[in-house]
């Protein structure tokens, strides 16, 4: 069941088990966004995630050994059983890592190379997050669930139309989909 604690001793094992769970529940294409995150992190030093849940995408990023990772969620309860695994991995691999329980519309984030957003699936929420945080993203912003939630796609398209320094580089319409925009 999605949301159930995952029994694992380390982050690679946790990630593998969580991916297995997600692909069984949502189909294998659900985790295509993990490949997008890995691809966009090549040559990057920092990653920020909004909407952690159990930490599957966070683990995908951390396993790339990015030197600085920040994560935000309004409710960390699904993540907490694995918190020690993330912290141990970050310490062992010299990753500057911190996670915050806060509404992403009420926080300030540090500059980051890649910003990943998978919070409330609401047009207003994503529009506000892009307005508040896009200036901190130096290279890419990846937004999840843009195919299954047309209002999220609308928010990304409107943001790009109104901000000429951003362009769409990926619009995945497989499964729940995702969009990646790049700073130009």
pTM for the whole thing?
Answer: 0.96
Residues 19-75 pLDDT 10s: 999 999 899 999 999 999 999 999 999 999 999 999 999 999 999 999 999 999 999
Q: Which fold has domain 11-183?
A: Rossmann fold (3.40.50)
pLDDT at res. 4? 64
pLDDT in tens, 96-144: 999 999 999 999 999 999 999 999 999 999 999 999 999 999 999 999 9
CA-CA distance, 151 to 3, in Å (whole number)?
25
Tally of residues, the chain: 184
Residue 61 host element (H or E) = helix 56-62
């Amino acid at each position: 069941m999605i949301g159930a604690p995952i029994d694992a001793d380390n982050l690679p094992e946790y990630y593998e088990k969580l991916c297995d769970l997600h692909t069984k529940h949502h189909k294998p294409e659900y985790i295509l966004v993990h490949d997008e995150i890995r691809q966009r992190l090549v040559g990057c030093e920092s990653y920020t995630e909004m909407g952690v849940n159990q930490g599957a995408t966070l683990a995908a990023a951390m396993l790339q050994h990015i030197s600085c990772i920040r994560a935000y969620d309004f409710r960390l309860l699904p993540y907490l059983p694995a918190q020690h695994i993330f912290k141990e991995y970050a310490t062992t691999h010299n990753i500057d890592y911190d996670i915050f329980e806060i509404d992403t519309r009420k926080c300030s984030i540090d500059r980051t190379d890649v910003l990943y957003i998978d919070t409330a699936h609401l047009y207003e929420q994503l529009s506000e997050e892009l307005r508040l945080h896009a200036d901190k993203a130096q290279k890419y912003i990846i937004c999840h669930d843009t195919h299954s939630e047309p209002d999220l796609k609308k928010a990304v398209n409107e943001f790009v139309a109104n901000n000429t320094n951003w362009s769409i580089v990926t619009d995945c319409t497989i499964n729940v989909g995702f969009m990646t925009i790049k700073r130009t």
